[in-house]
Amino acid sequence: MSKIKFILIFASVLLFACQSKESNSVEKLTTIKELHAKIATAKAGDEIVLANGVWKDVEIVFKANGTKENPIVLRAETPGKVFIEGISNLKIGGNHLVVKDLHFRNGYTPTDVVILFKTDDDTPANHSKVTNCVIEEFTQLDRDATDHWVEFWGQHNELSHCYIAGKSNFGPTVRVQLKGNQHINNHHQIINNHFGPRPRKGGPHGETLQIGDSGTSMTPSYTNISNNYFERCNGEVEIISSKSNFNIFKNNVFFESEGSLVLRHGNYATIEGNVFIGNDNSEFIGGIRVVNTGHWIMNNYFYKLKGSEFRAPLAVMNGIPKSPLNRYNQVTDVVVAYNSFVECPTPWFFSVGSNVDKSAVLPKSEIRSARPIRTVFANNLIYNNQTATNPILNYDKVDGILFEKNITNNENKSEVKPKGLTTVDFSVNKLSDNLFVPTKNNTEVYNGFDFENINTDLFGESRAKNNAVGAITIPVKENMVLVNESNYGTDWFNPKKEKREPKTFTIHPKDLKSTIASAENGDIIVLESGEYTLDTTIDIDKKITITSADEHKKVLLNFTANNTAFLMKPKGDLRLQNISVKGNKTQNAFATLDKNMSKAYNLFLNNVEISNFKTALSVSKGSFADTISVKNTSVKNLENGFLLNQEIDAKGDYNAEFVFIENSNFDEVKGTVLDYFRGGYDESTIGGNLIFKNNTITHSGKESADKILIKNQGIVQAEISENTFINNPVKLIAILWGEKGQKPENNKIKNSGEFKIVQNLKQKLMY
Amino acid sequence: MSKIKFILIFASVLLFACQSKESNSVEKLTTIKELHAKIATAKAGDEIVLANGVWKDVEIVFKANGTKENPIVLRAETPGKVFIEGISNLKIGGNHLVVKDLHFRNGYTPTDVVILFKTDDDTPANHSKVTNCVIEEFTQLDRDATDHWVEFWGQHNELSHCYIAGKSNFGPTVRVQLKGNQHINNHHQIINNHFGPRPRKGGPHGETLQIGDSGTSMTPSYTNISNNYFERCNGEVEIISSKSNFNIFKNNVFFESEGSLVLRHGNYATIEGNVFIGNDNSEFIGGIRVVNTGHWIMNNYFYKLKGSEFRAPLAVMNGIPKSPLNRYNQVTDVVVAYNSFVECPTPWFFSVGSNVDKSAVLPKSEIRSARPIRTVFANNLIYNNQTATNPILNYDKVDGILFEKNITNNENKSEVKPKGLTTVDFSVNKLSDNLFVPTKNNTEVYNGFDFENINTDLFGESRAKNNAVGAITIPVKENMVLVNESNYGTDWFNPKKEKREPKTFTIHPKDLKSTIASAENGDIIVLESGEYTLDTTIDIDKKITITSADEHKKVLLNFTANNTAFLMKPKGDLRLQNISVKGNKTQNAFATLDKNMSKAYNLFLNNVEISNFKTALSVSKGSFADTISVKNTSVKNLENGFLLNQEIDAKGDYNAEFVFIENSNFDEVKGTVLDYFRGGYDESTIGGNLIFKNNTITHSGKESADKILIKNQGIVQAEISENTFINNPVKLIAILWGEKGQKPENNKIKNSGEFKIVQNLKQKLMY
């Protein structure tokens, strides 16, 4: 029996016991009016019970005062059977309050917070907690609408054993506020939570957790973030943004999360015993990024992290001399000791963010030229099974780091070869998933100032007798694992969706709309061969594959309505294969909702023909595609091709994360073949990826306003290679961004303008 | 018997006892070699005794390790009988060390510190102290040479019961260093010291105490500055510059010190129970200036403070939005509670430093537009015997301050009239010098967040029963005083110089030089009447008055040597009355040493005639006159008049603090009548004072390079009034600084150019 199943059964038994008790003694409330009436008279020790069912459009204000011994508890009748839905939220104010067992879903908050630890500015919560709750995709309709799902105020509050996932709009999922003396020295506990997937946002402000902000970065916070599981938290480059002092990050697991634990502002953080797990394929999964002063980073375990620069396993940044409050202070007085880096080919990056060469396009107050100083790297272990001879990458001199007693099992051929990083021939044993430890202790360690306080290892074993380099000393207790799922989240909610076999419907195309409406996520629709006219728009709000019954012959769909052929809605995921779509020149082939694109969509075209439309793809501001993939496709007779260019505020947002256009033909596209835009000087995001490869473009661009065929302004990764451009009356094929390594490769060009490379892009400052 | 005398006698008795013991048991060292040999073998509990006498040109390195129970002590054989002189200093490194009873004088350090709490970078002192010592005028020869007299490194060190006075060069007297984890959380104790007069420096970097710097302003320091006496610490606008976090300033007395306790960088300072005493005449004596976040200012007593802006009794500054690290952060989350302001007509200044109107001459990163926010003023008491109806002066909106339960005995006619500042009719009793308390408790108080921690008053009396507005609750214990001198400084050194009656010498002028050489400070030299030729330079290195025997007739001194007539040396203070000095056109009438003007000088001319010199006064870079006073004097046939213009580095320094030129005549001064210069954008100093009044200037300026008669660039206070300018062929009489309120008043001008007013002076940024 799996552990999870066991827990579920065990929980059910417990629930049954509770229910029996409740039905006798505790009043179950069924309306918000009853609830508020009950709260108004609640006394220390009271239980306030929400009856099972859906509570829709409720704004719960839980203002009361319990005592340490007798808190006031607001809870679900049955854990997981009370759903807060619609336009709803919860405010908690007072002392010694507990909220538990609620499930927020199918809605969003009417204010800017879902669960707020204050009822008004004069009434923060103190010594109160939210525990064993779920917040699931309780996201704003508009990506640009800002909110937080949990916002801490007051002191000594707790968020524990919750499952929180699926925020796709602007704003950190959890935010600790420090504005005002009532809220500092807060000692909040954010513990044992499961932060489930947060999708890529396609712009900044997609942190999972932010503690303070630059304006309160001088405050003592003492927030404790321990024993949490961050699973694929991909919102932006910062999974956690620590922006206050004395925060503690201990024993958390960061699993395949595209970002880093970032010490963005504030000082003296403790990062101890955390586990960072990447994978072989991603360069977006980071580890820890260090800014500011006095942090202690120890006993952490980094595994299979392949990221670089901001997303390096360990990135130590350059600061701005005398930095403005909201930019980058110099790194000073940081200690990095007793960490293990396993299968991280280049674990240490120094002077990340150095941009002295960009002084032509950036003001002096943005130039990160202050190297890290008074910083100690000691007793760290680097292991790579394959040859990996560049443990250090540096963007500036490395003259402020003291290296002592670090070891690697590979030769160090980096530019920087400190004496304190030596090559030692050692091997490792695999003890459990992703957990590799040396076969013997490397006992020669450095004892720096205050190192005697590092007296245990990653697993809490004393270092007194068996001290050794790296996060883990041996022997390791039996059955140790890096990720113990039972530590995280609620005792009643299983975030793992059951796998479902997709169904296949073979239909006449006239039934396409209705079939999709009734199909389930992942289903496949096979269209009978032929040519058909559809005087409608096909809505896509789930994963749907549409293909032709005859794999050798495309189905031709003639769209005659004025509206778009396919309308992509939130979570729409359309895979079109072997289909030809033809328009009447007035509509778009694919488009998103004009607004409320609350969640990302995907579009995969393979062996498709698109013709006689206004635009191949037209998107709205706020819409976001995770992937647009166009392969083996023919695009012709259009005003424009793919337009992903609506985020014009220059605030770092963009309309798609990955755009692949390969092995395809564009002919007679009058305007721009592709306009893929990201504006604003921002380093928070992956920043867009374009692969435009092996395509043929002919007779296009003649009406392009600025005489450019392919526009990719501000997109960080762009490959334009192996294409053939013939007879396109433009001035430029594309402008590429030299600093990011962009250059045209192996393109054939005839009567089609040229490529231009701009080394340093001038971008609007957002700060 | 006075308390001090009693202490001295008591100390002598103690000394006698100690001496008897010593002579039997403890080796007295007489050379630095012996001393270092002894230190090299010192063990816990050892005493290392310097034999009485002068130790000249010694660099003592006290590196050893005692224990908590048995420190190692380095001390004078007899307190006050061991003099460290010449080019000397002391370094202390190791643990549990004590230095006591030494007297530093007649010299300066060859390094940049006199007493350094580390022997090398790897050996800071910890748990060590310097106590019962004197550092007296141990100042560098050159004002621009930088040093500190006591520099703290390490943790848990102490400076106690010392007398420290007379630093006139660049650099804070005492400096706490925080660069490196070994030096933070230091809990240093700076207690029971007497910081004697620090003269005006005439430029920045004249603090008496600086804790950290902007680069370490994020560090937790926890330095405790308590029970010290700051007497006329006039070095610059900051007596204390707190630049780190969590520092404590408690029960200190600031007596007639021209500056403030300034929370310059760093946050969360505690300023509790301090006494600030000004006087009726000075506008330079300040109180507390607040920048940054989270400070608690309570139970302080402010008396007779008349300063404004930076020197206000309580100045709350505007910050720079997103300030650079070394500039001005916004004030947030500050609590000002239970303070008493007695005879401070305008105690509260808000948005000090607001300079939005200067955006034309300052970069955006210098514009202080961020008003204080989330700040509480509560339970403060304001008392003025005379009508004083402007308790608040504001340079911007006051919208971020919560006023609660403050009282004043005058009507509030300020622009800002918060409800939380009410007029209450109450009177005060005088209990002792400068100590006034209300005749009854004003018991209506506000209880803000964490106010329960303010549980005592200025005198340590519990507030539990008799809580009241203001720093002092009644009843007050009998015989309470604000300044108890026996708390401060050593038990053996009396800084009060005996008063000496000046002697008068009536001499023939040929004996002038030799008489001055043998005269003592303050003596008066009366010259026999007549005309005399002096082929020499008269050196002035003390206070000397020279006058004519015949009060109705000037003595005429004809100077024939090529060198200056009067050479002002450090501490020179020349008062010339009823004397005529005439040159041969090749030399100056008055000049300073070319270098090593280690201390300030003064020049007072009354009823003097100066003619046929190159220059009336010519000074060197680094020289500094506290006062240049020229009254009822005639100046003619000179190339230039008074030149105080050698600080050309634009770093905020200047050559004289006060320049008075009144009721005097200038005729045929070819160049500039006065050039009084301060360069650089700096707010650290008084910034110079010029009164040029009721003078007549004729036929002057014809060879002035820039056609200006009077130059006062950068001088903060300048009054040019009631003068007569006739037939001076210049373009401008003077350029005045509008922002500082400068304007010409009641001058008569004929054929002499005009005044120009520049509102905002463009100055070189120093930061």
What does B682-703 look like in DSSP terms, one character per residue?
--SS---EEEEES-EEES--TT
- Name the H helices within A26-135: 32-40
Nearest Cα to Cα of residue B612 among B582, B641, B635: B582
**Chosen domain end from A108, A138, A168:** A138
Same domain, residue pair B522 and B404: no
**Per-residue pLDDT at A480:** 95
Structure tokens of A38? 């009950």
Distance of alpha carbon B641 from alpha carbon B617, whole angstroms: 7
Distance of alpha carbon A140 from alpha carbon A624, whole angstroms: 14
Q: CA end-to-end span of chain A, whole Å?
A: 53
Q: Which residues of B touch A330 (CB under 8 A)?
A: 215
Same domain, residue pair B481 and B552: no
Distance of alpha carbon A620 from alpha carbon A643, whole angstroms: 10
Q: Find out whether A92 and A99 touch, Cβ atoms under 8 Å.
A: yes
Nearest Cα to Cα of residue B316 among B298, B328, B304: B328
**B219 inside 8 A of chain A by CB:** yes
Q: Find out whether A66 and A44 touch, Cβ atoms under 8 Å.
A: yes
Distance of alpha carbon A426 from alpha carbon A423, whole angstroms: 9
Q: CA end-to-end span of chain B, whole Å?
A: 53
Q: Which residues of A touch B767 (CB under 8 A)?
A: 322
Distance of alpha carbon A505 from alpha carbon B264, whole angstroms: 73
Same domain, residue pair B456 and B519: no
Cβ–Cβ gap A179/B374 under 8 Å? yes
Mean pLDDT taken over chain B: 95
Cβ–Cβ gap B323/A324 under 8 Å? yes
The size of the A-B interface in CB pairs under 8 A is 78
Cβ–Cβ gap B322/A326 under 8 Å? yes
pLDDT higher than threshold 70 for residue B708: yes
Q: Are strands A129-131 and A123-126 parallel, antiparallel or unpaired?
A: unpaired
Q: Which residues of B touch A333 (CB under 8 A)?
A: 180-181, 184, 219
In a domain, A627, yes or no: yes
**B287 inside 8 A of chain A by CB:** no
Angle among Cα A226, A229, A230 to the nearest 5 degrees reads 110
Quick one: CA torsion of B250, B253, B259, B263, rounded to 10 degrees? 0
Q: Which residues of A touch B183 (CB under 8 A)?
A: none
Residue A356: left if φ>0, alpha if ψ -120 to 50, beta else—which one? alpha
Cβ–Cβ gap B294/A267 under 8 Å? no
**Per-residue pLDDT at B19:** 45
User: What count of other Cβ atoms lies within 10 Å of the Cβ of residue A725?
Assistant: 29
Give the pLDDT band (50/70/90) at residue B361: confident
Residue A121: left if φ>0, alpha if ψ -120 to 50, beta else—which one? alpha
In a domain, B581, yes or no: yes
Instruction: Check residues B614 and B358 and name the one with the higher pLDDT.
Output: B614
**Per-residue pLDDT at B606:** 98
In a domain, A386, yes or no: no
In a domain, B711, yes or no: no
Distance of alpha carbon B72 from alpha carbon B80, whole angstroms: 20
pLDDT higher than threshold 50 for residue B16: no
Residue from B293, B331, B365, B449 whose CB has the most chain A CBs within 10 Å, to mutate: B293
Task: Please count the structural domains in chain A.
Answer: 2
Distance of alpha carbon B224 from alpha carbon B221, whole angstroms: 9
In a domain, B479, yes or no: yes
Distance of alpha carbon A258 from alpha carbon A282, whole angstroms: 8
Distance of alpha carbon B611 from alpha carbon B603, whole angstroms: 17
Structure tokens of B481? 């005083």
Same domain, residue pair B530 and B403: no
Q: Find out whether B708 and B731 touch, Cβ atoms under 8 Å.
A: yes
**A294 inside 8 A of chain B by CB:** yes
Q: Are strands A174-176 and B163-165 parallel, antiparallel or unpaired?
A: unpaired
Q: Which residues of B touch A767 (CB under 8 A)?
A: 322
Cis before A79? omega within 30:
no
Angle among Cα A300, A302, A304 to the nearest 5 degrees reads 170
Angle among Cα B762, B766, B767 to the nearest 5 degrees reads 120
Q: Are strands A129-131 and A640-644 parallel, antiparallel or unpaired?
A: unpaired
A445 half-sphere exposure, CB direction, 13 A CA radius: 26
The answer to whether the complex's ipTM is over 0.90 is yes
Cβ–Cβ gap A450/B180 under 8 Å? no
**A185 inside 8 A of chain B by CB:** no
Distance of alpha carbon A328 from alpha carbon B369, whole angstroms: 22
Taking each continuous run of H as one helix and of E as one strand, the counts in chain B are: 4, 69
Q: Model confidence over B566-588: pLDDT tens digits?
A: 999 999 999 999 999 999 999 99
**A218 inside 8 A of chain B by CB:** yes
**Per-residue pLDDT at B25:** 65
In a domain, A656, yes or no: yes
pLDDT higher than threshold 70 for residue B86: yes
Distance of alpha carbon B112 from alpha carbon A473, whole angstroms: 47
Q: Give the one of A214, A215, A449 whose C-beta lies nearest to B182's C-beta.
A: A449
Residue A295: closest CA among chain B residues belongs to which residue?
A: B181
Q: Mean pLDDT across the stretch B192-197?
A: 98
Which CATH number fits the domain that encloses residue B431? 2.160.20.10
Q: Find out whether A535 and A505 touch, Cβ atoms under 8 Å.
A: no
Residue A246: closest CA among chain B residues belongs to which residue?
A: B220
Cβ–Cβ gap A181/B450 under 8 Å? yes
Q: Mean pLDDT across the stretch B517-542?
A: 96
**Per-residue pLDDT at A361:** 85
Residue B184: closest CA among chain A residues belongs to which residue?
A: A294
Task: Return all residues near B283 (Cβ < 8 A) that are at least 6 apart.
Answer: B306, B307, B308, B311
User: What count of other Cβ atoms lies within 10 Å of the Cβ of residue B402?
Assistant: 14
Same domain, residue pair B475 and B523: no
H or E element in which residue A721 lies: strand A717-721
Residue from A122, A325, A765 whose CB has the most chain B CBs within 10 Å, to mutate: A325
Q: Mean pLDDT across the stretch B41-56?
A: 98
Cβ–Cβ gap A181/B333 under 8 Å? yes
User: Which of 353-372 (A) contact B at CB < 8 A?
Assistant: 365
Structure tokens of B614? 């190159």
Cβ–Cβ gap A322/B324 under 8 Å? yes
Distance of alpha carbon A720 from alpha carbon B428, whole angstroms: 84
Cβ–Cβ gap A294/B325 under 8 Å? no
**Is B160 in a helix, a strand, or coil?**
strand
What is the Cα B514 distance to its own chain's centre? 35
Same domain, residue pair B280 and B236: yes
* Least Cα separation, residue A333 to chain B (angstroms): 6
Q: Find out whether B309 and B289 touch, Cβ atoms under 8 Å.
A: no
Q: Find out whether A663 and A694 touch, Cβ atoms under 8 Å.
A: yes
Structure tokens of B355? 């300079």
Same domain, residue pair B449 and B587: no
**B184 inside 8 A of chain A by CB:** yes
What is the Cα A564 distance to its own chain's centre? 31
Give the pLDDT band (50/70/90) at residue B703: very high
Cβ–Cβ gap A218/B218 under 8 Å? yes
Distance of alpha carbon B630 from alpha carbon B575, whole angstroms: 10
Cis before A509? omega within 30:
no
Q: Model confidence over B211-247: pLDDT tens digits?
A: 999 999 999 999 999 999 999 999 999 999 999 999 9
**B447 inside 8 A of chain A by CB:** no
Cβ–Cβ gap A323/B324 under 8 Å? yes
Nearest Cα to Cα of residue A423 among A381, A392, A393: A381
Q: Give the one of A219, A323, A329 whose C-beta lies nearest to B293's C-beta.
A: A219
Q: Mean pLDDT across the stretch B119-148?
A: 97
**Per-residue pLDDT at B20:** 42
Which CATH number fits the domain that encloses residue A675? 2.160.20
**Per-residue pLDDT at A767:** 67
Q: Are strands A523-527 and A543-548 parallel, antiparallel or unpaired?
A: parallel
Q: Give the one of A182, A374, A767 whose C-beta lies nearest to B449's C-beta.
A: A182
Q: Find out whether A396 and A347 touch, Cβ atoms under 8 Å.
A: no
Same domain, residue pair B243 and B176: yes
In a domain, A127, yes or no: yes
**Per-residue pLDDT at A12:** 47
H or E element in which residue A58 lies: none
**A270 inside 8 A of chain B by CB:** no
A312 half-sphere exposure, CB direction, 13 A CA radius: 23
**Per-residue pLDDT at A25:** 65
Buried b (16+ CB within 10 A) or exposed e, B557-568: bbbeeeebbbbb
Q: Which residues of A touch B180 (CB under 8 A)?
A: 333, 374
Cβ–Cβ gap B449/A335 under 8 Å? no
**Per-residue pLDDT at B359:** 87
Q: Give the one of A218, A322, A329 whose C-beta lies nearest to B267's C-beta.
A: A218
B143: phi then psi, degrees, rounded to nearest 5: -55, -35
Task: Return all residues near B209 (Cβ < 8 A) that are at least 6 apart.
Answer: B172, B173, B174, B175, B190, B195, B225, B239, B240, B241
Distance of alpha carbon A61 from alpha carbon A99, whole angstroms: 12
Residue B319: closest CA among chain A residues belongs to which residue?
A: A325
pLDDT by 10-residue block (mean), chain A, 767 residues? 47 45 70 97 97 98 98 97 98 98 98 98 98 98 96 98 97 98 98 98 96 98 98 97 98 98 98 97 97 98 97 98 97 98 98 92 92 98 97 98 98 98 97 97 97 97 95 95 95 92 95 96 95 96 97 95 96 97 97 96 98 98 97 98 96 96 98 96 91 98 94 96 97 95 96 94 78
Q: Model confidence over B605-617: pLDDT tens digits?
A: 999 999 999 999 9
Give the pLDDT band (50/70/90) at residue B288: very high
Least confident of A360-364, B208-212, B319-323: A360-364
* Least Cα separation, residue B300 to chain A (angstroms): 21
Same domain, residue pair B572 and B461: no
In a domain, B103, yes or no: yes
**B179 inside 8 A of chain A by CB:** yes
H or E element in which residue B12 lies: helix B3-25
DSSP letter at A385? S
Q: Find out whether B407 and B424 touch, Cβ atoms under 8 Å.
A: yes
What is the Cα A245 distance to its own chain's centre? 24
**Per-residue pLDDT at B699:** 97
Residue-level length of chain A = 767
Distance of alpha carbon A57 from alpha carbon B285, whole angstroms: 62
User: Which of 312-331 (A) contact B at CB < 8 A?
Assistant: 322-327, 329-330
Distance of alpha carbon A484 from alpha carbon B654, whole angstroms: 69
Residue-level length of chain B = 767
Q: Find out whether A673 and A712 touch, Cβ atoms under 8 Å.
A: no
**Chosen domain end from B638, B664, B697:** B638
Nearest Cα to Cα of residue B215 among B350, B299, B326: B326
Same domain, residue pair B416 and B279: yes
Q: Which residues of B touch A179 (CB under 8 A)?
A: 332, 374
Give the pLDDT band (50/70/90) at residue B183: very high
DSSP labels, A657-689? EEEEEES-EEEEE-S-SEEE-B-SB--SS---E
Cβ–Cβ gap B324/A365 under 8 Å? yes
Structure tokens of A223? 């927030």
Q: Model confidence over B392-417: pLDDT tens digits?
A: 999 999 999 999 999 999 999 999 99
Cβ–Cβ gap A184/B218 under 8 Å? no
**Chosen domain end from B620, B638, B656:** B638
The amino acid at residue B432 is: S
Structural domain harbouring B279: 92-487
